[in-house]
């Protein structure tokens, strides 16, 4: 049985920086694993991996 997204999100680390990184990794996995999205994206970068990033990750 699928886990509700809200349950997944609340299971992430309470520290906002750690939670953001965990969520970023989840999104990368999802975009590569989901049958529909996997056909629409060629490359998925984490912010720290992207060569053209312009600064530190400031997402929350």
The domains of the chain are located at 12-45
Confidence at residue 4, expressed as pLDDT on a 0 to 100 scale: 94
Confidence at residue 48, expressed as pLDDT on a 0 to 100 scale: 87
Strands (E) across the chain are located at none
The DSSP letter of residue 55 is S
DSSP H helix total and E strand total for the chain: 3, 0
Confidence at residue 59, expressed as pLDDT on a 0 to 100 scale: 64
Alpha-carbon distance values, 60 to 15, 29, 32, 39, 42 (Å):
10, 19, 23, 28, 26
In angstroms, the CA 35 to CA 38 distance is 5
Block mean pLDDT (10 aa), the chain, length 60: 89 92 94 95 90 75
The DSSP letter of residue 48 is G
Confidence at residue 44, expressed as pLDDT on a 0 to 100 scale: 93
């Amino acid at each position: 049985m699928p886990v509700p997204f809200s349950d997944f999100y609340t299971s992430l680390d309470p520290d906002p920086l750690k939670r953001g990184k965990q969520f970023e990794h989840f999104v990368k996995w999802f975009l590569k694993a989901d049958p529909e999205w996997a056909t629409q994206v060629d490359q998925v970068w984490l912010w720290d991996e992207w060569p053209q990033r312009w600064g530190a990750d400031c997402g929350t």
